[in-house]
Chain A
């Protein structure tokens, strides 16, 4: 029966993992704006011919 203890510990660990993921996602602001990202991902990231791309601009999450 001791296998049960291990299983429960594993399941609890998974659940805590999800809880941490949830808290992290709230803290990262994923629930603040649930519209913009859906539009943003459809933009083509065309390489500009004139202006050089600033390396700093890539997603720096706040």
Chain B
């Protein structure tokens, strides 16, 4: 094979055409243009620093950044603005090598109105200062886009600021504590060596006062967060884990200050500062690891849901994360709008309840802008995407639905339960041992009490659950099983009862055999029916829609979907009703298949029958699950499948049919009223109420955009047969958390026994604490990894 020439700019092989310019090969006009620009401006160092560093610029449509000319949008994006100078930070995912860095920092050579540009390589961010009189923000963005570095502009700045890593405040607090720790130890040297300070009395009091001065800001600045958290929890009449720490700090500080001022001793300022220093280092370590976890969650996890893209060849199902700007997308009734878009065709009635809480649909006409997160109610609409999908926006939409904050102030259930009785016990032990030590003098009491309070600090307790569950949700994500928050793992482990929907859950929602019975339909009628099914996202509608032949879709006058019943539409003056036999008051003899009846102007024309194909591996899955859980079926269909399903399910299972969405919700509630934890597995749309009601709502995602923010877990349909493995994994994870608790208790018991006897100095206690935290985090990470290997 002859060697393909590779593009001098981007390094891709020139397969389609070779453009030779300046004796160098280029793969496309875009690359050549960039080279020309750089060459003219004497910026060819770009190619010297790295081989073929470039990014082939996408062919940009004219005016795509026109929105950057709006003053409002500029205000949102700019970091700083005055009469002459503007500053902006742009996120450019393409930054990958030192050439990128060099070029982006030399933008001023291309465009003299750019005053300065600085790259933060790790954040892939460039901050640009430019004179806004001569150059617009749009100009800046267009310039760097023309070089192949298209910035990702996210108008949602709130999500950006969260990504900040360690807060500077924490760094200052550690710095101050470390500084004080070292210096106070130095000033305490005479004390340590037992020098007879009686002979230099002035010194001892002088040193003491100096220590007091140094330690005061440490206690109140570095330790501030502990005091704050402790008072907050006391005000709520609860004892959180920061209470003993705050109390320990306070005891150490007041006792030491009293000794120094009354000249009765040297105090324990060294212990106090050392304690805070090590505590805060542990906290930095915690934050760093935790940030990495949540960062990965936001950016790597994507939902396995797809949307219907309209192309010149027809309709095509594409994964939601591959939506490009300009794509035409079809949104069915009840589907979520995944990206900001312009309404092209159809009667938009957008329900923004997921985004704003306002559920009254808003009317939109073609040409109107609609925002991601809304839900279409009514007929299917065509939209044109204005920008690619912002994963983080979708994630936050999902997470915000229940506004559950997932950070260190929000502990999981187990942690909450344990810390409720843990803290009082610690306080009791501290007081008891203090009273016992009273016989040896007040200084012993202070030492022992503070050591007890510090060594008992259940930091490791607080760490175990978030780390284990955080890792667990990451592992599950790799298996195409996505959790809303990592605490869902814990709920998953507690499940006793699993409820399944039938259609689309136990059965496949595509590739099923459909047969039409009844009066033959003419082409126009067929197309009309196909059009009506096109509006709906119900699994049955999708199946019949795919079954009917293609053609030009007529326009609907009205459309309505009645959940659990069927579809009704007005077309050319005819009323079409498509739905369940019950709804249309017919009895059908055929009883082994699911039926959808067709009625035109209230007259029954015929019906579709759909063979139920059960998912592969259903039998073995049900067998395995039935050993641990009680199972039920809640189906909106008629009960003709009852005998078939009874074969799969153990005899004691409850099989309920002809259930409306409200019925399903009620059934879930009824089971829950006995204190039983229910998991509902459904297709996410018709079961929204039941999914929300249940302890864990699982939405099975297949070809259809079934993203329902009501669910706690999205499972890719092809992984359905692994459901029992996921459940077992969740149980393992809960066990890991409990073992982590035991480890941390062992540390505490050993530490406490030593501390109560007065054998442990507060500083040693402060060192023991981060060690226990690190070992617990290490254990949970390793154990979760091992458990995840078993998922298969």
Residues of A within 8 A of B (CB): 1, 4-5, 8, 11-12, 15-16, 18-19, 22-23, 26-27, 31-36, 39-40, 42-44, 46, 48-51, 54, 56-57, 60, 62
Contacts and interface: CB of A to CB of B under 8 A. Distances in A.
Contacts of B127: 62
Nearest to A49: B42
Contacts of B120: 32-33, 36
A16 B45 CA distance: 45
Contacts of B200: 1
Contact of A54 (B98, B101, B115): B115
B101 A23 contact: no
Given A19-B176, A22-B175, A54-B112, A33 B206 contact: no
B168 A51 contact: no
B116 A43 contact: no
B105 A51 contact: no
Contact of A31 (B119, B171, B176): B171
Contacts of A57: 108, 115-116
A8 B214 CA distance: 13
Interface of B: 40-42, 45, 49, 98, 101-102, 105, 108-109, 112, 115-116, 118-123, 127, 129, 168, 171-172, 175-176, 179, 182-183, 186-187, 200, 203, 206, 210
A36 B119 contact: yes
A5 B45 contact: no
A40 B101 contact: yes
B122 A33 contact: yes
Contacts of B108: 54, 57
A33 B172 CA distance: 17
A37 B182 CA distance: 31
A56 B116 contact: yes
A34 B168 CA distance: 15
28 contacts: A4-B203, A5-B206, A8-B187, A12-B183, A15-B179, A15-B183, A18-B179, A19-B175, A19-B179, A26-B168, A31-B171, A32-B120, A33-B121, A33-B123, A35-B121, A35-B122, A39-B101, A40-B101, A43-B45, A43-B49, A43-B105, A49-B42, A51-B112, A54-B108, A56-B116, A57-B108, A57-B116, A60-B129
A37 B744 CA distance: 41
A30 B120 CA distance: 11
A56 B114 CA distance: 10
A53 to B, nearest CB: 8
B51 to A, nearest CB: 16
B42 A48 contact: yes
Contacts of A42: 98
B662 to A, nearest CB: 54
Contacts of B40: 50
Contacts of B118: 36, 62
Contact of B203 (A1, A15, A34, A50): A1
A26 B203 contact: no
A15 B109 contact: no
A49 B182 CA distance: 54
A56 B129 CA distance: 11
A60 B87 CA distance: 13
Nearest to B105: A40
A43 B102 CA distance: 7
B39 to A, nearest CB: 10
Nearest to B122: A35
B252 to A, nearest CB: 22
A61 B98 CA distance: 21
B121 A26 contact: no
A2 to B, nearest CB: 10
The 6 closest A-B pairs by CB, nearest first: A36-B121, A33-B120, A19-B179, A39-B98, A35-B121, A22-B175
B98 A26 contact: no
A56 B206 contact: no
Contacts of B105: 40, 43
A27 B168 contact: yes
Given A50-B40, A62-B127, 7 more contacts: A4-B203, A15-B182, A39-B98, A40-B101, A40-B105, A48-B42, A54-B112
A50 B40 CA distance: 8
B182 to A, nearest CB: 7
Nearest to B166: A31
B40 to A, nearest CB: 8
Nearest to A59: B116
A33 B164 CA distance: 12
Nearest to A50: B42
**Residue of B112, B187, B200 with most chain A CB atoms under a 10 A cut-off:** B112
A8 B186 CA distance: 9
A51 B41 contact: yes
Nearest to A36: B121
Contacts of B172: 23, 26
**Residue of A16, A32, A49 with most chain B CB atoms under a 10 A cut-off:** A32
Nearest to A1: B200
Contacts of A12: 183, 210
Contact of B101 (A5, A31, A36): A36
A51 B42 contact: yes
A50 B115 CA distance: 18
A50 B108 CA distance: 13
Nearest to B106: A43
Nearest to A16: B179
Contacts of A18: 179
Contacts of B179: 15-16, 18-19, 22
Contacts of B116: 56-57, 60
B45 A44 contact: yes
Nearest to A60: B116
Contacts of B122: 33-36
B133 to A, nearest CB: 14
Contacts of B187: 8
A31 B109 CA distance: 28
Nearest to A39: B98
Nearest to A32: B120
Contact of B121 (A27, A39, A43, A49): A39
**Residue of A15, A26, A27, A36 with most chain B CB atoms under a 10 A cut-off:** A36
B290 to A, nearest CB: 18
A48 B171 contact: no
A46 B210 CA distance: 54
Nearest to A15: B183
A21 to B, nearest CB: 10
A56 B200 CA distance: 61
Contacts of A34: 122
Contact of A23 (B112, B123, B175, B206): B175
Given A1-B200, A57-B115, A26 B42 contact: no
